[in-house]
Amino acid sequence: MMWWKACAIALLGVAGAAYGEVATPPVVHWTLEVVRDGQTIDTFDASTPVGQAHTDTHHHVVAHDVGCKDQPGGSIDLERTLTVSPTAADATDVTLAIDAHDTLEDDPVQPSPEGCRLPPQPRTIAASHPGLRVPAGQWADWQIVRKDPSLVYRVRANLVPQP
């Protein structure tokens, strides 16, 4: 075998490389639900090849009435950015690396001593899971914040059938 052909086969590293075929990585369809205090507040959904990443940002702008006259206060952008990377997948389970940057509001605060409304304060949370294992067709939970408020990411993932 000529040296350049041997190098090409070694570089491709896949069955059928001698014929110029390149294997495509398996594709994972995943859904991630953001659950706050037991209620789904946001959903992310995509199909991503193993070894690649998908990043998505959702915005939810909120405004509150504040003060003793309940005047509209400034708005807050509750931004949520997720990067999901399937690292392994087969017919029985999928492993996902997840990076999350989430801005959420704390539960409403008590009124001021004068009885005036105070706005809830935003809080930014950054979390990473290097390998969340998700059984095929089932939900797996990742607890981000335990309480005040509780925040859970529920993930379901399946291998997309190849033609």
Q: Is the pTM of this model over 0.75?
A: yes
End-to-end CA distance of the chain: 33
pLDDT at 68: 79
Which of 3-7, 31-35, 109-113, 119-123 has the least mean pLDDT? 3-7
| Rounded mean pLDDT, 88-115 | 88
Q: Where are the domains of the chain?
A: 25-159
Is the Cβ–Cβ distance between 61 and 78 less than 8 Å? yes
**Residue 155 clears pLDDT 70, i.e. is over it:** yes
Mean pLDDT of all residues in 140-154: 93
Whole-number percent of the chain with pLDDT over 90? 57
